[in-house]
């Protein structure tokens, strides 16, 4: 199946000379949730802005469902909904009016039933006649999502949609996102909350300094790069890792009171059995243990550090 | 070029609704200030100046006053209309929508011009309460009214794109448009000026607008009606070229 968004050789250099994107190649699959991760200034928003038509590319091409974003911009943009990073809303409009305005802007005929459904799904129905300036930050964020969904897009860009949003609202939003995905909408999100990407995304892309560092299935990424650690709380303290245990990837923590064994869950052998046997032979006893797995955040931080 | 009429309608209705929300500022305020001009210039000073070109002074200044209002309001409405979404950041929605530049301009400029024309007609009706009015060429009066409103709304749109602060938004209307209008024969006929000033006055494009508009009322003008119409179209054309350049280059809209 052809990608719903195909990005080829996309570069952007701003008038200041800053090169925000360096020949990006990226395909977004139809119906997936794609999480784009990257530190501040990595190029995430520039990439989204080019696809949506807000920023001009310096070179390269982008097609949305086969439509070029420049020569066939109407068809391309009509498929896309965008929730921007900043809380950029009208102030004096009512919720209903601003969402209806967005639908009209995208050339769709009036459909009060759809607008009502969107507002109800986002728990905005009771605020439909409220002026936007009277809403809280979280509610304004919902309004931005409602505006993006007003014209029934097939692709939804969420540029850090839950930044500054409380936990309750964040959960509500992700319910909406899941429901959209279930209805076939492709979702591309950027987020600083890596646990969100971990929970929500099908695939993850990492961008750093204008370059795509990695694109991988989330499950594969977690499997391939995921390492586990076994921490043993020792009965006594060690000053150094004993000679007999040198073959293992061991570190001492908490002033020698904890011995940490790092192992690869995807290796042929984790080595845990042998390690515990060798530990016993070395006469080292422990009274408690725990295992921890590297999070996506750890992987992300490692990737970004490697590229510095 | 214009195929997303729903978008044009959405922008137009949005802008017109804004005028509705600020009725006092949008309509009452300009009508009041224009009425004050009638009282001061028409009644007070006009009692000492009986006629210009055979037209009672009170009636003579009506076209100029309508033109003054039309120019300032067209520029103000259109410049604020496009500047405000730039200021708040909601411009992103306009840029990411399947809307052509022509449709954006049609929506914003159409609404700004409509508001100005409505205001012009309201002031005309208000003036009729103060002075006896005749309109010899009503069709041409409407042509000049609409052409001028559209032309200066286009100029306002350019200013709204150019401005990077509220101060700049006011700069051109206050320092350029208003002086040119006052010096363009709002309250007098250019023919009463000394010969040198008459020639200099002809460099002022507003002279042609007011002269043409006044001709549609009284059948007399400072410059030939054809020249007035041509000058209006030239200014209109220049504004269209300016806007085309803005959208082609993305000036202050797209990085």
| ipTM score | 0.87
Q: Give me the pLDDT at residue A84, please.
A: 92
Question: pLDDT-based confidence at A224, cuts 50/70/90?
Answer: low
Helix (H, G, I), strand (E, B), or coil: what is residue A154? Answer: coil
* Residues from chain A contacting residue B98 (CB–CB below 8 Å): 73-78, 106-107
What are the phi and psi torsion angles at B74 (to 5°)?
-60, -45
Chain A residue with the nearest C-alpha to that of B90: A88
Q: Give me the pLDDT at residue B46, please.
A: 67
* Of A223, A217, A197, nearest in space to A293 by CA: A223
* Of B193, B209, B224, nearest in space to B201 by CA: B193
Instruction: Please tell me the distance from the alpha carbon of residue B92 to that of residue A52, in angstroms, as a whole number.
Output: 9
Six token digits for residue B134: 């005749």
For residue B255, being part of any structural domain is answered with no
Six token digits for residue A102: 């967005």
For residue B234, being part of any structural domain is answered with yes
Q: What is the mean pLDDT of each run of 10 residues along chain B (255 residues)?
A: 89 90 78 81 72 82 90 93 92 94 95 94 87 90 95 95 90 88 85 84 91 92 90 94 90 81
Region label for A49, one of left (φ > 0), alpha (ψ between -120 and 50) or beta (otherwise): alpha
What is the number of structural domains in chain B? 1
Express each pLDDT in A27-66 by its tens digit: 999 999 999 988 888 899 999 999 999 999 999 999 999 9
A68 vs A176 pLDDT, higher one: A68
Tell me whether B49 touches chain A (CB under 8 Å). Answer: no
In this complex, do B92 and A78 lie within 8 Å of one another by their Cβ atoms?
A: no
User: For the residues A99-117, what does the mean pLDDT come to?
Assistant: 96
Q: Give me the pLDDT at residue B27, please.
A: 78
Give, in order, the Cα–Cα distances in Å from B151 to each of A95, B14, B80: 34, 21, 16
Helix (H, G, I), strand (E, B), or coil: what is residue B16? Answer: helix
Q: Give me the pLDDT at residue A267, please.
A: 65
Element (H, E) at A231: strand A227-234
Q: Give me the pLDDT at residue A226, please.
A: 61
For residue B55, being part of any structural domain is answered with yes
Q: Which residue has the tokens 């804004």?
A: B18
* Residues from chain A contacting residue B9 (CB–CB below 8 Å): 104
Element (H, E) at A25: strand A19-28
CATH fold for domain A227-294 = Alpha-Beta Plaits (3.30.70)
In this complex, do A74 and B3 lie within 8 Å of one another by their Cβ atoms?
A: yes
Other beta carbons within 10 Å of B13: 16
Q: Which CATH architecture has domain A5-222?
A: 3-Layer(aba) Sandwich (3.40)
SS (H, E, C) A33-99: EEEEECCCCCCHHHHHHHHHCCCCCCEEEEEECCEECCCCHHHHHHCEEEECCCCCCCCCCEHHHHH
* Of A270, A261, A269, A265, nearest in space to A224 by CA: A265
In this complex, do B92 and A56 lie within 8 Å of one another by their Cβ atoms?
A: no
Q: Give me the pLDDT at residue B1, please.
A: 67
Give, in order, the Cα–Cα distances in Å from B104 to each of A82, B34, B155: 19, 31, 15
Question: Which value, in Å, is the radius of gyration of the alpha carbons in chain B?
Answer: 19
Chain B residue with the nearest C-alpha to that of A53: B96
What are the phi and psi torsion angles at A263 (to 5°)?
-140, 160
Instruction: Please tell me the distance from the alpha carbon of residue B245 to that of residue A120, in angstroms, as a whole number.
Output: 43
* Residues from chain B contacting residue A90 (CB–CB below 8 Å): 88, 90
Question: pLDDT-based confidence at A268, cuts 50/70/90?
Answer: low
| Residues contacting residue A123 through CB under 8 Å, at least 6 positions apart | A142, A172
Q: Give me the pLDDT at residue A145, please.
A: 92
Instruction: Please tell me the distance from the alpha carbon of residue B5 to that of residue B107, in angstroms, as a whole number.
Output: 9
Q: Give me the pLDDT at residue A65, please.
A: 96
* Of A151, A205, A145, A203, nearest in space to A177 by CA: A145
Q: Which residue has the tokens 């202050």?
A: B252
* Residues from chain A contacting residue B14 (CB–CB below 8 Å): 93, 97, 101
Residue B25 DSSP label? I
Other beta carbons within 10 Å of A64: 27
For residue B254, being part of any structural domain is answered with no
Q: Give me the pLDDT at residue B108, please.
A: 96
Considering chain A, tell me which residue range(s) the CATH 3.40.50.300 domain(s) occupy: 5-222
Helix (H, G, I), strand (E, B), or coil: what is residue A101? Answer: helix
CA dihedral A41, A47, A49, A53 (to 10 degrees): 150
In this complex, do B98 and A108 lie within 8 Å of one another by their Cβ atoms?
A: no
Q: In what order do the strands lie in the sheet with A250-253?
A: A250-253, A258-264, A227-234, A286-293
Considering chain A, tell me which residue range(s) the CATH 3.30.70 domain(s) occupy: 227-294
Chain B residue with the nearest C-alpha to that of A46: B255
Which structural domain, as residue segments, surrounds residue B225?
5-249
Element (H, E) at A210: none
Chain A residue with the nearest C-alpha to that of B247: A56
Six token digits for residue A78: 């009509």
């Amino acid at each position: 199946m052809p990608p719903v968004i195909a990005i080829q050789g996309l570069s952007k250099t701003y008038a200041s000379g800053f090169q925000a994107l360096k020949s990006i190649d990226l395909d977004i699959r139809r119906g997936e949730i794609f999480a784009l991760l990257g530190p501040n200034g990595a190029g995430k928003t520039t990439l989204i802005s080019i696809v949506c038509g807000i920023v001009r590319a310096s070179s390269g091409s982008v097609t949305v469902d086969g439509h070029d974003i420049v020569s066939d911009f109407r068809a391309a943009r009509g498929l896309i909904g965008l929730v921007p990073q900043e809380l950029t809303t009208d102030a004096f409009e009512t919720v209903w009016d601003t969402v209806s305005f967005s639908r009209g802007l995208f050339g769709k005929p009036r459909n009060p039933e759809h607008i009502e459904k969107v507002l109800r799904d986002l728990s905005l129905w009771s605020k439909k006649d409220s002026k936007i300036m009277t809403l809280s930050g979280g509610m304004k964020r919902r309004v931005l999502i409602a505006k993006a969904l007003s014209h029934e897009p097939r692709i939804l860009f969420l540029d850090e949609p839950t930044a500054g949003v409380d936990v309750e609202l964040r959960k509500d939003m992700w319910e909406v996102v899941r429901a959209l995905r279930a209805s076939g909408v492709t979702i591309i999100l950027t987020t600083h909350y890596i646990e969100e990407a971990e929970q929500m995304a099908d695939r993850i892309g990492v961008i750093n300094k204008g370059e795509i560092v990695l694109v991988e299935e989330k499950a594969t990424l977690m499997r391939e790069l995921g390492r586990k650690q076994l921490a043993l709380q020792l009965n006594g303290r060690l000053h150094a890792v004993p000679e007999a245990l040198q073959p293992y990837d061991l570190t001492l923590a908490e002033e020698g009171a904890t011995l940490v064994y790092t192992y690869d869950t995807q290796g042929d052998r984790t080595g845990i059995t042998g390690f515990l046997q060798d530990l016993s032979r070395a006469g080292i006893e422990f009274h408690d243990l725990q295992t921890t797995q590297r999070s996506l955040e750890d992987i992300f931080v490692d990737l970004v550090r490697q590229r510095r | 070029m214009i195929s997303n009429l729903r978008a044009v309608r959405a922008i137009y209705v949005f802008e017109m609704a804004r005028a509705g929300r600020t009725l006092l500022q949008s309509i009452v305020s300009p009508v009041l200030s224009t009425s004050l001009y009638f009282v001061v210039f028409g009644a007070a000073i006009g009692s000492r100046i009986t006629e210009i070109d055979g037209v009672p002074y009170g009636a003579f200044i009506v076209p100029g006053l309508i033109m003054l209002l039309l120019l300032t309001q067209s520029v103000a409405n259109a410049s604020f209309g496009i500047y405000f979404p730039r200021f708040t950041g909601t411009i992103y929605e306009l840029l990411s929508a399947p809307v052509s530049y022509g449709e954006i301009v049609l929506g914003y400029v159409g609404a700004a011009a409509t508001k100005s024309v409505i205001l012009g007609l309201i002031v005309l009706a208000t003036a009729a309460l103060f002075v006896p009015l005749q309109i010899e060429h009503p069709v041409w009066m409407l042509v000049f009214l609409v052409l001028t409103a559209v032309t200066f709304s286009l100029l306002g749109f350019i200013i709204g794109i150019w401005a990077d602060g509220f101060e700049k938004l006011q700069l051109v209307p206050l320092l350029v448009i208003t002086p040119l209008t006052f010096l363009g024969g709002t309250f007098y006929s250019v023919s009463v000026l000394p010969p040198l000033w008459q020639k200099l006055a002809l460099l002022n494009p507003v002279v042609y607008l007011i002269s043409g508009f006044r001709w549609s009322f009284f059948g007399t003008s400072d410059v030939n009606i054809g020249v007035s119409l041509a000058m209006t179209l030239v200014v209109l054309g220049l504004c269209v070229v300016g806007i085309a350049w803005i959208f082609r280059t993305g000036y202050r809209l797209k990085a």
